[in-house]
Amino acid sequence: MTNSSLISPTAPIGIFDSGVGGLTVARELFKLLPHEDIVYFGDVGRYPYGGRSKEIITQFTRQDIAFLLENDVKFIICACNSASSVALEELQDDYELSIVGVIEPGARAAVERTSNGRVGIIGTHATIGSNAYAGCIHRIDPKIKVFSLACPLFVPLAEEGYIDQEATYLIARDYLQTMHDVEIDALVLGCTHYPLLKNVIAEVMGEKVTLIDSGEETARVALQSLTDAGLLRTTGPDSGMPKGVRKYFVSDVPEKFSKVATRFLGELLDKVTRVDISGY
């Protein structure tokens, strides 16, 4: 952790993602830390990251972090699995502030919850191609067998609101058949959008498979890290303080983001501001 004596506990937490998907992580954070101020940046103008190269995702990630730092955040969450997988490890040392990604929290939870030592990972092409989840799981427990699979169509389905339509079941059955065949008992939802499809994925995989939501795990890690560093704004959800101020920024016109965000977050956003991310 950073030299936290220089950072104010009243400063906001920064969260960034390639777009709207990171709101599934923000949602989990709001449940645990409702009184924290949040600055959210969604790079909708350059979305999606999941099919891009390491070089480009790393460049975008640097700019996203620079924007949040300019907003004087006390802690940063990289909600995007693709950015966390390919860019974060190498970038983290360049910053004094703590930046957590979603890979390690998801990987740890998978190791803890598998009983048969067979874990599945689903995510974008960038996340799966990076092998970041498998690497992290094997650092914790080399004996675990990891089966990874890119499910890129889940992202537009979630974004377009196809969360329990027949088309979504068809695609899910097709994608996840191989995960059935290898008899995993834990499946990491390694992409911001997949928690929206949890019901479909759970039904297709069956009740013997535990689904692991990396966003949920990351929110817990953020709470723990802030507590350890003495950077929590309040003592807990019942502290009697008002809800934190939540500011949203995007790199293209805010209208589509605002519309889709309501579905991802389960609440209306007060205000979304456009920023020129190319200047960072």
Give the binding site for ligand DGL (CB under 6 A): 17-18, 21, 47-50, 80-82, 123-124, 127, 155, 191-193
Within 13 Å and on the Cβ side, how many CA atoms surround 59? 8
Q: DSSP label at 204?
A: H
> Can you tell me the distance from the alpha carbon of 42 to that of 123, in angstroms, rounded to the nearest whole number?
19
Active site residue 80: yes
Helix (H) or strand (E) holding 120: strand 118-123
Closest to ligand DGL by CB, 57 or 97:
57
User: What are residue 14's DSSP bridge partners?
Assistant: 39, 76
Q: Which is catalytic among the residues 78, 136, 151, 191?
A: 191
Concerning whether 191 is annotated as a catalytic residue, the answer is: yes
Task: Write down the least CB distance from residue 222 to ligand DGL, Å.
Answer: 16
The closest of 143, 16, 129 to 77, measured between CA atoms, is 16
* Residue number, 17 or 64, with CB nearest to ligand DGL: 17
Q: Which residue pairs, CB below 8 angstroms and at least 24 apart, start in 254-258?
A: 256/44, 257/19, 257/20, 257/42, 257/44
Least distance (Å) between residue 98 CB and ligand DGL: 20
* Shorter beta-carbon distance to ligand DGL: residue 194 or 229: 194
Catalytic residue selected from 78, 80, 136, 151: 80
Structure tokens at 72: 């004087």
Strand partners, 204: none
| Distance between CA atoms of residues 96 and 100, nearest Å | 12
Taking the least distance from each CB to ligand DGL, the nearer of 171 and 232 is 171
* Comparison of 29 and 155: residue with beta carbon closer to ligand DGL: 155
Rounded Cα distance between 256 and 250, Å, is 10
The residues annotated as belonging to the active site are 80, 191
